[in-house]
Amino acid sequence: MQRSFSFQHSVPKEWVDYNGHMNDAEYNRAFSQATDAFIDYIGLDENARSEWDYTVFTLETHTCYLQELKEGAAFEITAQVLDYDAKRIHLFLSMQNEQGELAATLEEMLMGIDQNEGRGAPFPESAAAAIQGVYEEHAEQEQPKQAGRVIGIRRK
């Protein structure tokens, strides 16, 4: 069986703002890079995408910022497929800091695109099987607390 997906990186100088912490936009960059790595992981790397004229678009993302990260701090992003269908992946990414604490989460909807038609198209069979594999890894787990959130001020 393939190793579970993991994206490891540390905070470069350029991602840190005047107060010494990773800028909020850069969390999204880290998650965007992790998403690219995840797309490779399910077998849709550059060669495959080019061969099949296929690509993957991000439709929407929801980010929760939980802990600050300083310059040089290492982090790891892991992935959970919350749901999927023939063309879409409902993906949840968790960023942990060096202490193993949750530093941020990204929930997102991805859509597979036929580049010739310019619209949604089913995942190639091998990718669909890989997506199902990642889904099944976590199928018994509880939904992460940060998934399915609506932004709003709750009043008593």
Contacting residues toward its own copies, per CB under 8 A: 19, 23-25, 28-29, 31-33, 55, 57-65, 83-85, 88, 90, 107-109, 147-153
Rank residues 1 and 25 by Cβ distance to its own copies and give the closer one: 25
Strands (E), 85-125: 88-96, 102-114, 119-120
Rounded to the nearest 10°, the torsion over CA 114, 119, 123, 124 is: -20
Rank residues 2 and 68 by Cβ distance to its own copies and give the closer one: 68
Rank residues 5 and 31 by Cβ distance to its own copies and give the closer one: 31
CA end-to-end span of the chain: 49
Rank residues 133 and 149 by Cβ distance to its own copies and give the closer one: 149
Amino acid at 141: Q
- Beta carbon of residue 65, minimum distance to its own copies (angstroms, whole number): 6
- Beta carbon of residue 27, minimum distance to its own copies (angstroms, whole number): 8
Helix (H) / strand (E) containing 46: helix 46-52
- Beta carbon of residue 60, minimum distance to its own copies (angstroms, whole number): 5
Task: Tell me how many degrees the CA angle 1-33-50 measures, rounded to the nearest 5.
Answer: 75
